[in-house]
Amino acid sequence: MADYRAVATVTEAVLQLLRSNYVPADFDQELEFRVFTAKDFTKPLNAGVSLFLYRIFPNGVQRNPPGRVTLEGRSLPSLLPLDLHMLLTVWGREASLQHTIAGWMMRVLEDQPIFPAGMLNAVTPGAFRSDETVEVLLTELTNEDLLRIWDALVQNVYQLSVPYVARVVRIESTRPLAAGGGLVQERVVRAAELESVEGVA
């Protein structure tokens, strides 16, 4: 399980993958790759890709309740599995450049959907355990939802964007575990003794 730096690490790792596959000669100009906040949309890139994390949902399949205890009496840390919903927005002065960047970006992410711990920890050393992976996939977003997001970001201005989801980002608790009660050594069963009463059949 990853630590609290996992969310920032995943978003940066997505852009790092794009940077590492970027060949300037394939495009007419230099491309930029940046994580955006909402206010950054008022200052767009000349050309490139921005990543906007617009929603974080718990992954219900892998979530376990806090305070879970094993049969051996060991307390387990609560697990916070998250799905990160992102918009990758393509920027360019001309439509042809935007479309070229979009096709290239989607092909790169399709070729490398699994992000192993080595790739993630190259961004933030020690953020993920060595056996962890995160999957980054194309997802669906209705036109209504997409336009609603853009309307909240920049009034009446839409830029070509592609929705992705990164799953599952598992964040472990840093709180110390409560001491368990130990293994059961002996089981005592008490039974009430029934005494026979004279004269009763």
Cα torsion for 144, 149, 150, 155, to the nearest 10°? 100
Pick from 160, 122, 116: nearest CA to 136: 116
Provide the pairing of β-strand 79-91 with 133-138: unpaired
Enumerate the H helices of the chain as residue ranges. Answer: 6-21, 95-111, 117-123, 143-153
Question: 113-134: b or e for each residue (b if 16 or more CB lie within 10 Å)?
Answer: eebebebbbebbeebbeeebeb
Contact 33, 15 (CB under 8 A): yes
pLDDT of residue 20: 96
Provide the pairing of β-strand 48-58 with 32-36: parallel
- Three-state secondary-structure class, residue 39: helix
Pick from 13, 47, 50, 83: nearest CA to 150: 50
Give the whole-angstrom CA distance, residue 109 versus residue 101. Answer: 12
CATH number listed for the domain at residues 6-172: 3.30.2000
Domain-wise residue ranges, the chain: 6-172
Residue-by-residue pLDDT tens, the chain, 201 positions: 688 999 999 999 999 999 999 999 999 789 999 999 989 988 889 999 999 999 999 987 765 555 555 556 666 667 889 999 999 999 999 999 999 999 999 999 999 999 999 999 999 999 999 999 999 999 998 888 887 888 887 766 788 999 999 999 999 877 665 555 444 555 555 555 545 445 555
Q: Per the structure block, which two tokens stand in for 131?
A: 């056996």
Q: Per residue, what are the HEC states of 118-166?
A: HHHHHHCCCCCCCCCEEEEEECCCCHHHHHHHHHHHCCCCCCCEEEEEE
Token pair 């992705």 is found at 164
